């Protein structure tokens, strides 16, 4: 598409797509979250789809899903040296039903004009990430928090763990490319050390985390990160219960899930 971005990879790994599904059960611009009434309508629509009884449950799910966008942004920078111009009005939340299960994606509109190589842009990697988090992520989370009567910092916590896990995935993918691995680490360090907390309206950096490591559900010899925060899936009117990596799930509960 005129840049080095592999959109097929972004779709496969992050459900970050460039074409809308013809039969979505929900399709909404993320710019709707910047308008109070539209944001409340969107939260209500998600509540109905995930069978949530309260708006905070929908907001936690939506911010968790938004981790796909943050991960796609990070991968585009670290793997393809590209700045994706992901303004709220360029992104749509899409939910489709596939064999009775929901599939959540984010649609990038006008993809041909939404990405630019860093060499062409002349921007630093730190400037690219700061702009993304200040101009796209924060306004979206402000609107989502306002519409659901939650706190912004609770919403940031929903996608932090995913960013760490995706960094590990990129490092593994670049295992034979030392220079690329170094860039992946450098770009992630920007999240930890160079984001402007004042401009993000935060007192502390949400990406600075010490994780608890737990046994993998299917691979007993592997360890995985426990999530930073609960997404409240256990409060939906479904049989989902607690996620395996939920910080509220006891060790006994995890053992039972492994043995089920």
At residue 100, the pLDDT reads 87
pLDDT band for position 97 (50/70/90)? very high
State yes or no: pLDDT of 68 exceeds 90: yes
Helix (H, G, I), strand (E, B) or coil at 1: coil
Give residue 121's pLDDT. 82
Which 3 state secondary structure label does DSSP give 214?
strand
Picking from 50, 74, 181, the residue whose alpha carbon sits closest to that of residue 133 is 74
Question: HSE-up of 52 (CA within 13 Å, CB side)?
Answer: 21
Mean pLDDT of 49-68: 98
pTM: 0.95
- Whether the CB-CB separation of 144 and 155 falls below 8 Å is answered with yes
List the Cα angle 191/56/69 in 5-degree steps: 35
Q: State yes or no: pLDDT of 174 exceeds 90.
A: yes
Cα–Cα distance measured from residue 168 to residue 184, given in angstroms and rounded to the nearest whole number: 9
Domain ranges of the chain: 7-209, 210-260
CATH class of 7-209: mainly alpha
CB 166 within 8 A of CB 158: no
Q: Average pLDDT, whole number, for the chain?
A: 95
The alpha-helical segments, DSSP class H, found in 174-228 are 178-193, 197-200
d(CA 160, CA 156): 7
């Amino acid at each position: 598409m005129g840049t080095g971005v592999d959109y097929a990879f972004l779709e496969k790994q992050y459900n970050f797509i460039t074409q809308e599904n013809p039969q979505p059960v929900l399709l909404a611009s993320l710019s709707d979250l910047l308008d109070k009434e539209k944001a409340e309508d969107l939260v209500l629509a998600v509540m109905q789809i995930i069978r949530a009884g309260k708006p905070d449950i929908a907001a936690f799910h939506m911010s968790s899903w938004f981790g796909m966008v943050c991960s796609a942004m990070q991968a585009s920078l670290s793997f393809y040296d590209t700045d994706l111009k992901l303004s709220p009005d360029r992104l749509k939340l899409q939910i489709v039903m596939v064999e009775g299960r929901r599939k959540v994606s984010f649609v990038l509109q006008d993809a041909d004009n939404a990405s630019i190589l860093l060499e062409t842009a002349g921007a630093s990697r730190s400037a690219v990430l700061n702009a993304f988090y200040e101009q796209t992520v924060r306004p979206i989370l402000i609107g989502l928090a306002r519409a659901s009567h939650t706190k912004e910092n609770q919403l940031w916590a929903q996608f932090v763990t995913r960013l760490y896990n995706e960094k590990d995935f990129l490092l593994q993918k670049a295992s034979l490319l030392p220079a690329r691995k170094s860039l992946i680490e450098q770009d992630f360090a920007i999240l930890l050390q160079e984001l402007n907390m004042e401009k993000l309206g935060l007192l502390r950096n949400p990406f600075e985390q010490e994780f608890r490591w737990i046994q993998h559900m299917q691979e007993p010899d592997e360890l995985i990160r426990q999530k930073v925060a609960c997404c409240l899936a256990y409060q939906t009117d479904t049989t989902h219960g607690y996620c395996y990596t939920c910080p509220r799930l006891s060790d006994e509960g995890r053992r039972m899930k492994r043995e089920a």
